[in-house]
Structure 1
Amino acid sequence: MAGNKRGRRRRLRMAVIVGLVIVAAVAGFLAYRGLKSNTAAEVSYTTAVVQKMTLTSSVSGTGSVELSQTVAVQPEVSGTVSGLAVKVGDAVEAGQLLFTIVNPELDLAVTKAEITYQEALLGLEKAKLSVLQAKQDLADLQEQYEAQSTTTTTSTTLPVSSTTSTHPAPSTTTSSSTTTTATLPTDTSSTTSTTGVPPSTTGVPPSTTVLDSRAAALLAASSSAAASSQPSQATSNSGSSSSAKITELDIKAAKQAVESAELSVTSAEFQVTSAELALQEAKENAAKREVRAPIAGVVTALTVENGDTIGQGGSTSGGGGTATGTSSSSSGGSSSSSGGVVTITDPDAFTVKVALSESDIPAVKVGQKATISFDALPDLTLTGKVTSIDLAGTNSQGVVSYGVVVTPDVTDPAIKAGMTATVNIITQVAADVLAVPSSAVKSQGNTKYVQVLENGVPVNVTVEVGISAGSYVEIKSGLTEGQEVVVQTITSGSATTTTIRNRTGGIFNEGGGFPGGAVPGGFVPGVR
């Protein structure tokens, strides 16, 4: 019995040993096969050629169509509404008469302004005549002054007789229209010296008595001229002189009179200009009684009726005054307003407002070009440009966005307010630059690089990149046109991964396992 037990134990031990040897052999075979498979794997590369192209960088957003031109018409003068012939929904043309305002006071203001203007013109003509008169007076005084000076400085020739020592007394004649002169007889045989005193024929100087008599004659003539009753009458060069003595002070006063008259003309011209402006303003105010449509469009609101009174500031009163429409105004529009008695909207003028994220907004600038597409009109794409950007962002659930308004270059009648539109804003354009597919550019820290094949082996090359546009990236430096860069690495026959699994059936099934799922003690499954 003891021998049989020892025999069974020996056979069981041998069976276990044989099983372990078989397991070890199979595991070694599988490991060898896997190693051989890895060694035999082939690697290939997909490449792209570095080429020149035009890259366009853009950002996009979705928004809606908004009417951009809504104008509220508000009369500028007060009065009573008359001739209103439009209603909500009517189409109007730019400049079309909407209604008139009755205000007789405006006609009266025009009449008064016209009279003031004519009076200012008459005042100007009078001022100009005053200048002419002042200049004529100045010229007359200057002529008299010059004639007076000539008379005073002219030397008088005194005659001397060789046979007598006395002369007849000078005769003096006084008249209101003539000037009296002293006439002294002259001896034709005598000659006049350079001093104005006739020398004696005998060589003896004239007596003192003779000189005194001549001086008395001159004094009498001067006294007679001073007594004349026409001080401003001109004196001829033939011997007449002014009845009143003209001084330099008189000349200065006459010149000042001319200057004063000229200043009066300047003042009168200013009065004419002021009156003309007042008349023009009065006529313009009177013309404002005709209220016309500033733009072409459709009447969308009307708050007055015929007979209503429009006061200063646009307030209305009367039997009407009930709003028969709604007024709308749009942000980003060119001329939107609200609060008028008539509201007109242009249905063909629209904009698209989109919301862009805070990461995209730094690249967006007013004036950049854009394309606009519409969900409801898939075959229609319009061009436009950015016309405004919100200064402050809107925070919605932690996401900050900014409103951007894009105005189309042309419109289309098929587009309606409220339609959904997608805007693509072109932020950068790089023309004729080197570019590679985005998948070829890799990063290592802050460094960008691509792989270039050299003798079939990829080599890293550092590059400087520019803008990204779709699936391509601009290469500013590091590569030349025509080079090939690796965009994908392909391995034919990937490494085999083997796992010893606990499965039933057979000694080793497809997944690898011991019969019955038992694992020998000390055996640890592994992965190759």
Structure 2
Amino acid sequence: MSVSSPPAGQRVIGRLGSHKGRRRFSPWLALPLALILAAGGFLAWRSFGTSSASSVSVSTATVSTGSLSLSVSGSGTVQPVQTRALSFPVSGTLSEVLVQVGDTVSAGQALASVEAQDLQMALMQAEASLKSAQANLASAQGEGATAADIASAQAKLTSAQASYEKTRTGDVTAAELASAQAQVASAQAKLDELLAGPTAADLASAQNSLQQAQLSLDSQRISLSTAKAKAESAVSTAANSLRDAQDNYSTVYWSNRQQENTPSGLTQSAKDDEAAALRSVNNAEESLRQAELAYEQTKQAEVIGLAQAESSLKDAQQQLAELQDGATKTEIASARASLASAKANLATLQSPASAQDLAIARASLEQAQISFESLTTPGSASTIASAEASLAQAQVAYEQAKIDLEDGTLSAPFAGVVAEVSASVGDNASAATITVIDLSAFYIDLSLSESDIGAVAVGQPVTLTFDALSDVTIEGSVQTVAPVATVTSNVATYTVRVSFAPGDAAIKAGMTATGAIQTAQHEG
């Protein structure tokens, strides 16, 4: 604090000093000066005392009641609640990779697939094996045969019995012998005919057929061409008639338009003439359309008729050429084989059966008997049990083949984001992995000391902050509290898992977060 009087005194002294040497100082003049200094000192003392008293201040505060929260803190790394590294359970080659890192996927969405051809083939084979096992079981139980199957087996058994008896007794009827002889004669005649070549009558007939085919082609060309020319002329005539009708209608039309402007106006007769002229135009147009249609039809008929006639001519030419060339080596060889077969059949009928023939007939009969009984008689208990076991194995193999085909497509198990793709088209499926994480829910694991863990309980609220996001605060809750400590270097800590939903915050897995667990709250 400053006092104003002393500076005034200084100024006075200064002024007095400034005249030193100009006049002698008088003692009587010092008395007023002393009085002034004494008064100034008193006033300064009063002013200083007043200012000191006024500058002292007193601080005050309002006392109120409130809540007091207690908390313990820890830090950890943000982890998604759901994360899945997906791989193919089947072998094969990757044919498609449908996602990349950062893609958002929905539950069930296809991510990658292997070539399905081998898996589909395996499923088809498993299905065929299953059906075969089902049929075998039905056959063993005597239930698989239809009425038609049984009837067919019965007929084969009857035929085998008759054949065996016939072979055993050598009983050949006269009719069977005559039929075999006729087959030999027919085969011999066919071979002789081929070796002898065509007769003069055959050649003459073939040449006549060729001439008739050529005449038919020439006739078709003339008649079809004439019909087409007539149709074309009809089109020209119809076109001329249409032009005449159009000219007439134009004349009547413009004449009537001029008559309409006269005082007498258009007469009914003139109107009728105009309508008749218009009908003539319409009729002429229809006649032209019909003529054009008929012309197109005659052109088509010409194409078809000539093609048929030319085909007939080619057939006749080929038949004549074949007759002139004679039988081919293949035809002669076939005729010789037919003759040999017919002679062998006749010889079999004319000679008694050998022991080998009888054995063959007996074997055929036994096989027919077994086939019939397998359709009508249930199998033994062991046979049925074996068939049932085979069916069960086939069913398991079929179901596994279906699962393998479904597993050939890797799908997202839940909605989320693709975090990693270690797969490329052409890679071995067993080495491919795709990782999907769920960004809708996270957790952090906090390590708390023995002194803090006693106050922590499941469900307590937790305030979370993030090193990378200074302006973000999210509320979570205690999900689990480890019942057993983790001891490292003789220091015991307990893991507390805190779960939270990120909402719209840009929180990513792997961020460092600090959680303040509210362990108690006291109301004042």
TM-score normalised by the chain length of structure 2: 0.36
TM-score normalised by the chain length of structure 1: 0.36
Structure with the bigger percentage of helix: 2
